[in-house]
Amino acid sequence: MSEGLSRKRALRSFARRLGLGEATAESGLLDTALIHDSYAAETGSRASNERLEFLGDAVLGALVSHALYLRHADAPEGMLSRLRAALISRQALAQTAQRLEIAPLLLLGRGETAAGGAERPSILAAALEAIIGAVYLSEGLEASRVFIERHHLAHAKPTEVIDPKTALQEYTQAKYKKAPHYAIAAQRGPSHARVFTVSVSVAGKTVGSGEGATKKQAEAAAARAALAKIGPQRPTRT
């Protein structure tokens, strides 16, 4: 079996696994989305994925912004910006690329391959953005939205990345015009292994509590609990 035919079959299998349409699988854009510039420079006969990455980055940013706007109906702009930044970060995109097993299909130059480029977060994130660009060109905006929702947003947890105290501060200031107040509710254990319990309140009402080995950790845990309780929620559909 020729190398070209083997790659075509691998790309078709990959496209089916990801639920991509035939237009994307057969267009050649999916192949291009997985070509790193080091391979393109070595061969001199193939375009790299840089243009598709540029397009996919814009599509991703717009669709993630739209999803967050709908999901968090009462979240302030600052919190939405932090959530979006976490969701489109190199770290988050690379994790999704790893889960989708993109690395075996990447075409890299010899030097980049030897340096382990297929596992480099920047390369994986760029390839995922390029795939989004390929889906957008082949199947349109709605197919891109479904792809991002199914394969990225359904798994990413941005609230684990952003600072929960900052997020709670922004949310309570925007919604209640009040800042959260933290207080040590209890502490136990010997001095070398102390455990703090901190409660957080807004306008005199306790909205969360958490524990940690330091006051800072306990406050972060309390803020996280408060966000889960009173933070921005998805709008209820009737």
- Catalytic residue positions? 57, 129
The kind and range of the H/E element at 198 are strand 195-202
- CB–CB of 26/14 below 8 Å? no
Cα separations in angstroms, 169 against 41, 172, 195, 217, 220: 49, 5, 24, 16, 11
> Which amino acid, residue 185?
A
Return d(Cα 89, Cα 36) in angstroms, integer. 19
Report how far residue 164's alpha carbon sits from residue 183's, in angstroms, rounded to the nearest whole number: 16
| CA distances (Å), origin 133, targets 26, 86, 129, 166, 227 | 15, 20, 6, 33, 34
Q: Order of strands across the sheet with 205-212?
A: 181-188, 195-202, 205-212
∠ CA 86-90-93, rounded to 5°: 80
